[in-house]
Structure 1
Amino acid sequence: MLQEKTINEELLEQSREALKNAGNRNIEIAGSASEEMRIVYEADDFSVSASGKNLRLGIRTLQDHRLGFVSTNSTSNAAIAEAVEESYSMARLSPPSEHYGFAEPGPNHVAGQEFINEDSQLPHMSEQELVDVADRVIAAARNDPRIRLDRVEVALVRDTRSLLNSHGIELSMRRSYVTWSAMGMARDGEQVTSFDYDGGVAFRIPEIEERIQTSMGRFRESVLGSLNPRPGRSYQGPVLLHPSLVRQFLLGTIAYNANGKNQQDGVSTWNGKQGSPVTSPGINIYEDPLDASRPETFLPFDREGLLTGKHSLVEDGKLSFTGHNIYSARRAGEKPTGNASGGASGTPGVGFTNVKIELDGLETEALESLMKRLNHGLLIKRFSGNADPSSGHFSGVAKNSYWIENGSIAHPVQEIMVAGNLFQLMQQLVAGTDIDYEIMGGSRAPYLIVDGLNVTAG
């Protein structure tokens, strides 16, 4: 059973201690803490481990427009006081910038507000109950004798994060969940697939069984579906992207380039392109960190203590939003957007949470109809290689993928080279499924036909 003071209370106590040591000086304390019990199944044997309270404070200080930062997991009062002074010492040595600053409480800020996402029973699961979950994952993963499991992990996790600063912000959140993953392959005679993996997460005890069956069903389908692969064919043209590739290629590229810091640093070419087309018409892409149906991505406040919100990154195919933290916003002459990212181990970056795509202006249909539309070509599930979101160029190997012939899956395909440009790909979206599909971790996305790829068979 996980022990409790709680870790949230302990984290807040230590953060307040750091705040007290700053006196009337500018300071921000980002805190994180976690504890877990983990079950590992490997080589037909179980092992159990339990972590202590892993607490960390990220202390940012500001003095004469100079910024200092120290991250520490030493949590005695003396160590915290020393870390605070070390951060101010670092600030005195750093170059000044008028763009540095800490968050001010907004009209909806409630000092001391705690956001809680916990099943009342889940944090108190016993070791045996967690082993039972592992048994269920194993049984669901290998209910076909051709499946060989290499490793299964199940963990009961409680984590918390907090943000305090000298301007009066004090916010915290805590959550508890069970997470699991399975890695393995399939073997049929002399045929052996490459390793594959899948997993899931549950925040409520009644959800665990259904989510195990869903995630391990995907795992079985993937490894068994990779048996007896045959060569594909070389061509240039459309492919069908699996939802995991839609998230990696499309949503990942959008999030990288709609990042204000990346635009200012010159690693994104989208600076000043608000209102310009970046995808095919009719595509809407947004982030929703407050989506209650996705507790694994629920994020009520950002790395700097600003409250988060839903933002439309792309509207009707055009760039409509640029995310900022305080520094990048001031540098751009804009207001921060609540998109400061990161944790207690480093200074804030810029990022997006729970990014989704809607195909409002694109033709959509059932997956079977979408494959008939493609008629023949490659369905890419996994990509291993280089993908540069700055230039858009990508080149690598399609793995765990399938060849479509006469509008249906004909056979798994041997590893095959694919290459193209992500920016061009986003402008050549042909059609998608009329529903989203869940992938590992609970994320969802549609299947998409995209044009303009080079496929090279060995």
Structure 2
Amino acid sequence: MSSPEPATPADDILPSLIEHALKAGADAAEAILSEREALSVGVRNSALEEVEREESRDLSLRVFVGRRQAVVSSSSLSADARRRLVERAVAMAALAPEDPFGGLADASDLAVGPFPDLDLHDATERSPEALEATARATEAAALAIAGVSRSEGADAAWSRGRWRLVTSEGFDAARQHSRFSLSASVIAEKDGVMERAGEGRAVRHLSDLIGPGDLGRRVGERAAAKIGARKIGSTTAPVIFENRIAAALLSPLLGAVSGPSVARGTSFLKDRLGQRVLPEGVSLLDDPFRPRGLGSTPFDDEGVRVAARAIVEDGVIATWLLNTASARQLGLRSTGHGARGSAGPAGVSVHNAHLTPGRNDLAGLMAQADRGLLVTGMFGPSLNANTGDWSAGVNGFWFEGGDIVHPVSEVTVAGNLTDLYARLVPGADLEFHDALNSPSLLFDAVAIAGK
């Protein structure tokens, strides 16, 4: 997401594309021009592994013929390509099935400028040499940790982009953003047993990016700490999900309050609007206006106004996440959560969401639980969206008396999310690194499948 940017030479394309689509038989149309420039450099075990550069422009046209719609995209901006784009889109829409809830966003729902400056663009350009040096420094810091045997790669990247939306309803606005990222993954080894750890960070401004030495050391230390991991017997015990991965427990909640899921009846929370799903005092908040936020935006991908709001307030579901189509199907108004790529109609996406923190830091949660499993890695989560039954493979550490005893691997945790959400205890260690953030989460009794 991004803040407004001055016009570019390609900007006159979109209004003319809308005009030609209407003349060709469309009743309504919207056009998107997405421009992106990116550079990524990767190293592995002190050797340069890859350099990737991208410069792209993608043009997308969505048209409606009555309640029938079609979306066509092209990477060419030539006059001939635009003509074919209009012809194909209108022809496809005429043959598409009717969607009684289709259509552009209502004019009364559209965002109106001037839009706030969310500080999402840093004009700094990183050279291949600078990115390579950063990646090498990250990897070197990780490899310097005792027990780390080799690297699976370190990557440093920079990108910037611009996105403009024009609709036949009169919406016309652009936004721009930058992104700087750093990631690394390494292997620690002892007696032929390997343990992996990795982490990545991304920010809007280079000055906010974690230093390569800091990231490298953290990755190396996490890998080394896993040496000697063992299985544990199957049991039911308290489980704490570290803040780095705790947001993965909240993603199914966002999916379950997504308007399209509720409208289709494929949500385990479809009948719970206005009902308690989290403990009293716990809220899930969404703020599209957070400065430099990875999910910040002055308007959604349908041009609809956005607002800071509680998704779950004091434990109670306060709203569904709605785009235009799902809002119409449910007899509601869009909440400004429409999300679009270059192909297909709009889906739904959160902006900057976070769970409100609690009182205890991670050590405090471990002391509160006394004994149990601290989860620091998760893989292969499985969810039954209709029932909320959930499971995931995890690794981490067994703790007793609030202190870590030994690392744990190859175990599975499982439960019903409706039940788990009702009993979660948030920690105080909330950090803002992604578009969805959470403090560490404690659950008092979770089924653990081990040896």
State TM-score, norm by structure 1. 0.88
Q: Is 1:102 the equivalent of 2:104?
A: yes
1:435 alignment partner, one of 429, 436, 443: 429
Q: Is 1:248 the equivalent of 2:248?
A: yes
Per-residue deviation, 1:218: 3.2
User: After superposition, where does 1:217-256 map in structure 2 within 5 Å?
Assistant: 217-249=217-249, 251-256=250-255
> What is the SS of the residue equivalent to 1:53?
strand
- Tell me which residue corresponds to 2:256: 257
User: After superposition, where does 1:149-298 map in structure 2 within 5 Å?
Assistant: 149-193=151-195, 195-208=196-209, 210-249=210-249, 251-294=250-293, 296-298=294-296
Give the 3 Å change call, closer, same or farther, for CA 50–403 of structure 1 in structure 2: closer
Gaps of 5+ in 1: 1-5
Give the 3 Å change call, closer, same or farther, for CA 178–288 of structure 1 in structure 2: same
Give the counterpart letter for 1:134 in structure 2.
A
Give the counterpart letter for 1:397 in structure 2.
G
Per-residue deviation, 1:344: 1.4
* Structure-1 separation of matches of 2:118 and 2:403: 47
* Structure-1 separation of matches of 2:19 and 2:397: 60
Per-residue deviation, 1:265: 0.8
Give the counterpart letter for 2:136 in structure 1.
D
- Tell me which residue corresponds to 2:338: 340
CA contact (8 A) 1:31 1:163 kept: yes
CA contact (8 A) 1:284 1:315 kept: yes
CA contact (8 A) 1:187 1:227 kept: yes
User: After superposition, where does 1:291-330 map in structure 2 within 5 Å?
Assistant: 291-294=290-293, 296-330=294-328
* Structure-2 separation of matches of 1:438 and 1:188: 34
Render the CA deviation track for 1:261-291: whole Å, top value 9, x for unaligned: 1101111143343211112222101111221
- Tell me which residue corresponds to 2:394: 398
> What is the SS of the residue equivalent to 1:88?
helix
> What is the SS of the residue equivalent to 1:19?
helix
* Structure-2 separation of matches of 1:68 and 1:43: 48
Single out whichever of 35-44 and 12-21 deviates more from structure 2.
12-21
Give the counterpart letter for 1:151 in structure 2.
G
Single out whichever of 38-47 and 346-355 deviates more from structure 2.
38-47
Render the CA deviation track for 1:297-328: whole Å, top value 9, x for unaligned: 22222121112221211111111111211111
Give the counterpart letter for 1:391 in structure 2.
T
CA contact (8 A) 1:114 1:171 kept: no
Per-residue deviation, 1:341: 1.3
Per-residue deviation, 1:240: 1.1
* Structure-1 separation of matches of 2:145 and 2:389: 40
Give the counterpart letter for 1:231 in structure 2.
K
Give the counterpart letter for 1:321 in structure 2.
T
Give the 3 Å change call, closer, same or farther, for CA 106–239 of structure 1 in structure 2: closer
Give the 3 Å change call, closer, same or farther, for CA 114–355 of structure 1 in structure 2: closer
> What is the SS of the residue equivalent to 1:297?
coil
Per-residue deviation, 1:191: 3.7
Give the counterpart letter for 1:395 in structure 2.
S
* Structure-2 separation of matches of 1:164 and 1:384: 40
* Structure-1 separation of matches of 2:268 and 2:146: 51
> What is the SS of the residue equivalent to 1:15?
helix
State TM-score, norm by structure 2. 0.90
Give the 3 Å change call, closer, same or farther, for CA 96–169 of structure 1 in structure 2: same
- Tell me which residue corresponds to 1:3: none
Give the counterpart letter for 1:110 in structure 2.
G
CA contact (8 A) 1:116 1:174 kept: no
Single out whichever of 41-50 and 345-354 deviates more from structure 2.
41-50
Per-residue deviation, 1:190: 3.4
Single out whichever of 281-290 and 184-193 deviates more from structure 2.
184-193
Per-residue deviation, 1:84: 1.4
> What is the SS of the residue equivalent to 1:199?
strand
* Structure-2 separation of matches of 1:307 and 1:427: 32
> What is the SS of the residue equivalent to 1:96?
coil
- Tell me which residue corresponds to 1:368: 363
The number of residue pairs the alignment matches comes to 441
2:122 alignment partner, one of 114, 119, 125: 119
- Tell me which residue corresponds to 2:447: 454
Render the CA deviation track for 1:124-167: whole Å, top value 9, x for unaligned: x3222222222222233323143221111111211222211111
